[in-house]
Structure 1
Amino acid sequence: MSISQNIARLGVRHISSSAVRASKAEIPQGYFELKKVQDKFQVKDGKPIFLKGGAFDSVMYRFTMGLSLVGLGGILKLIYDLSYPAKPE
Structure 2
Amino acid sequence: MYRQLMRLQQLSRRTISSSGRRQVENVVKEKQKLFQADNGMPVHLKGGAADAILYRLTMALTVFGTGFALYELLVAAMPKKS
In the superposition, the TM-score normalised over structure 1's length comes to 0.59
Q: 1:43 aligned to 27, 37, 41, which one?
A: 37
- Is 1:62 matched up with 2:56? yes
Q: Amino acid of the residue matched to residue 82 of structure 1?
A: A
Query: Max radius of gyration: which structure?
Result: 1
Identity over the aligned pairs, expressed in percent? 38
Q: Which amino acid aligns with 2:78?
A: Y
In the alignment, structure 1 segments of 5+ residues that lack a partner are 1-28
User: Distance in 2 between the 1:60 and 1:85 partners?
Assistant: 39
Partner SS for 2:39: coil
Q: CA deviation at 1:85?
A: 2.4
TM-score normalised to the size of structure 2? 0.64
The gaps in structure 2 that reach 5 residues or longer are 1-24
Count of residue pairs the alignment pairs up: 58
Runs of 4+ with >2 A deviation: none
**Aligned counterparts of 1:68 and 1:85: Cα–Cα separation in 2:** 28
Q: Which amino acid aligns with 2:60?
A: G
Q: Deviations over 1:12-33 (max 9, x none)?
A: xxxxxxxxxxxxxxxxx73xx3
Supply the distance in 2 between the matched residues of 1:75 and 1:36 (Cα, whole angstroms).
Answer: 42
